Structure 1
Amino acid sequence: MTALTLVVPIFGLVVIGWFAAITGLLSERVSEGLSEYVFAIAVPALIVATLTRPGMSGEIAWGYWFSYFGGAAIAWGAGSLIGIRREGVERRGAILHGFAASQSNTIFVGVPMILQAYGEAGAFPLFMLLAVHLPLMMGAATFLIESDGERSLVQRLKGLGLVLVKNPIFLALAFGMALKIAGVAPAGMAKALVDDLGGTASTCALIALGAGLTRYRVLHDLPGASVIAALKLGLHPFAVWVLAFHVFTMPPAYAGVAVLFAAMPVGINAYLLAARYRTEQGLVAASVLVSTLAAAVTTIGWLLVLGKS
């Protein structure tokens, strides 16, 4: 499998989704429903099916976490510093600049890409990173944004907890790990149902992502969006690559998963936070679009660096 043959089918499905949306083959209502299906049903089923699969186990060294989140902290810091220096950007906006530069699109692009590239060897580190990535990144962003607000620490923790317990991905990760620890795995009709639902996750996620790109307007702030995209697709994975391959020691598949995870485009969660706090919405939306389009090329480069050629 070459880098090109890996990337083209994945981003080809994104293009198909985008084309279907702009030509009216998929209405906005249908594309939103497809996104909700992926997020609430298909990907959770894939997570449970993968975590409960026989032989799905491994050890995660601290170097793995330090490599990924150390790289994320570098990209976040750089993005926030650039945001602070931009005229008219307030403190919350600068935090969102950094968050967008370090928040990966894991569900719609990362999971399909990494499973294709590393298969069984990459599944365990991928889903372990996914489990930590969501609460840590969203929690840090929420705390930083609201640190000068009137809400107490207890209120912020309660709010974050409510967000997590309502998140299907987080719940699926918790449920899958609980089944794994208990030594229980779906069997018979239950297994067939979970496998069938999980099998639709990758294709539906990529189609939904492509259809969703029509909602974003790249011309809102093309220079700013390009800077964030460069940090997300360049600085973030480069920092993780240095840490994973040259500072810490871990299995090659784990290091590769961390780098590819970081090489994904700006995640939708960055836009959701911008919309929630009503700041830098246009810039973050444009960065999602620019980084997703650019990732079709930059991902090939990172796959070549990782020896997937």
Structure 2
Amino acid sequence: MSETVFYKLLAIFIAVAIGWFVGRMRWLGDATAGGSGGDPARVLSAAAFYIFVPALLFRTTARVDFATLPWLTLAAFFGPVLGLMLAVYALQRWRGAGRAGAAAPSVQAITAVFGNTLQVGVPMAAAVFGEAGLAIHITVVSLHALSILTLLTALVELDLARERAAADQAQSLGQILATTLRNTVVHPVVLPVLAGLGWNALGLRLPAVLDEVLQMLGTAVVPLCLTLIGMSLAYYGWPKSLRPVLGLLLAKLILLPALVLGFAHWGLGLSGMPLGVVVMMAALPTGSNALIFAQRYRCLEGQTTAAIVASTLLFMLTAPLWLALLHHFNP
């Protein structure tokens, strides 16, 4: 592992530690004071979900050049990622993970596949693959949150609609579908994506002032999410059972990069730098957006937080192994 990546990981842990210290000291208030609405971690998470993340998603979608995207490389990455995400979601629904809440299958699915593509991924791609590899990495990042968050939002809103319908037998199938569609579209993740796609399709350029505002708001996502991880550890603690966390760690750090390697190399014939970039991107630890998603639906926050912290620690061990394996395919 390069010195650059090591220092980036160290900076992440320091930011998380700061959030944990602030949470332990209760400088922003007590999680039990004033009910759930007074929970500082949830308040900050809501700010990220309703202000900073939408700004980042809209700006990214409005600026992406779909005509020049390397579709084979994107398929090599997103095919296994979305496939594993749907498999985890289906497995957790079948196993009855919904007992922890209707959103539980979706929360566990995002924890198993959503990588830390910015804080860890960017410096890793730059250090290992250079400027050309970083360009491929950034291209994949441009669609990473858009595809995963949009699909999971639709799934979780459908599950929540089913839960509401079970409580209210008077609701018809049409009412359930209408509620799901409305809650999916009028959503702080999906709505800015759709707006950005519309802006992009019209061929419009973002005015300089608007672009600056969106960029400024988007840059707040990273530090806010990292401190939120520490605060969540302080407020919610570690989960009572670590067995589900271990399964998520295996899926994220071992199974997902293995699937991407197999599908990209033997399925699509990808090799060289593009193969290395997508495999290492799949091998990244769980990203902090998974926690924002969990806090949005108030489901499995402790489990998600533990998975983020543990996967980031374990990445120091698994990353060199994947790099060594890639050297076998790209000598």
- TM-score (normalizing by structure 2): 0.70
Q: Is the Cα–Cα contact under 8 Å of residues 44 and 169 in structure 1 kept in the other structure?
A: yes
* Aligned mates of 1:67, 1:107 — CA distance in 2: 12
Mapping 1:94-105, distance limit 5 Å: 98-104=105-111
Amino acid of the structure 2 residue aligned with 1:295: S
Q: Out of 225-234 and 42-51, give the one that drifted further.
A: 225-234
1:32 alignment counterpart: 42
* Aligned mates of 2:215, 2:112 — CA distance in 1: 23
* Aligned mates of 1:155, 1:105 — CA distance in 2: 32
Q: Which residue, 8, 11, 16 being the options, matches 1:9?
A: 11
1:183 aligns with 2:203: yes
Deviation at 1:229, TM superposition (A): 4.4
1:134 alignment counterpart: 149
1:170 aligns with 2:175: no
Check 1:33–1:248 CA distance in 2 against 1; reply closer, same or farther (3 A cut). Answer: same
Q: Which residue, 280, 287, 290 being the options, matches 1:267?
A: 290
* Aligned mates of 1:185, 1:4 — CA distance in 2: 38
For structure 1, list consecutive stretches of 5 or more residues without a partner in the other structure: 85-89, 276-280
Check 1:181–1:152 CA distance in 2 against 1; reply closer, same or farther (3 A cut). Answer: same
Q: Is the Cα–Cα contact under 8 Å of residues 110 and 264 in structure 1 kept in the other structure?
A: yes
For structure 2, list consecutive stretches of 5 or more residues without a partner in the other structure: 31-37, 126-133, 325-331
Q: Is the Cα–Cα contact under 8 Å of residues 265 and 291 in structure 1 kept in the other structure?
A: no
Amino acid of the structure 2 residue aligned with 1:133: I
Q: Is the Cα–Cα contact under 8 Å of residues 45 and 172 in structure 1 kept in the other structure?
A: yes
Q: Is the Cα–Cα contact under 8 Å of residues 115 and 286 in structure 2 kept in the other structure?
A: no
Mapping 1:225-304, distance limit 5 Å: 225-249=245-269, 251-252=274-275, 255-256=278-279, 259-260=282-283, 263-264=286-287, 267-268=290-291, 269-270=293-294, 284-304=300-320
* Aligned mates of 2:58, 2:296 — CA distance in 1: 25
**TM-superposition CA deviations, 1:158-192 (whole Å, max 9, x none):** 22222223322222222222222222222332222
Q: Out of 147-156 and 238-247, give the one that drifted further.
A: 147-156
* Aligned mates of 1:54, 1:159 — CA distance in 2: 31
* Aligned mates of 1:155, 1:121 — CA distance in 2: 43
Q: Is the Cα–Cα contact under 8 Å of residues 93 and 105 in structure 2 kept in the other structure?
A: yes
Check 1:265–1:242 CA distance in 2 against 1; reply closer, same or farther (3 A cut). Answer: farther
Deviation at 1:259, TM superposition (A): 0.9
**TM-superposition CA deviations, 1:56-94 (whole Å, max 9, x none):** 85143444432212222444455566xx3xxxxx57339
Identity %: 16
Q: Out of 34-43 and 220-229, give the one that drifted further.
A: 220-229
- TM-score (normalizing by structure 1): 0.74
Check 1:135–1:212 CA distance in 2 against 1; reply closer, same or farther (3 A cut). Answer: same
Larger Rg: 2
RMSD: 3.9
Check 1:247–1:170 CA distance in 2 against 1; reply closer, same or farther (3 A cut). Answer: same
**TM-superposition CA deviations, 1:116-155 (whole Å, max 9, x none):** 4445433332232322222323433555683995555433
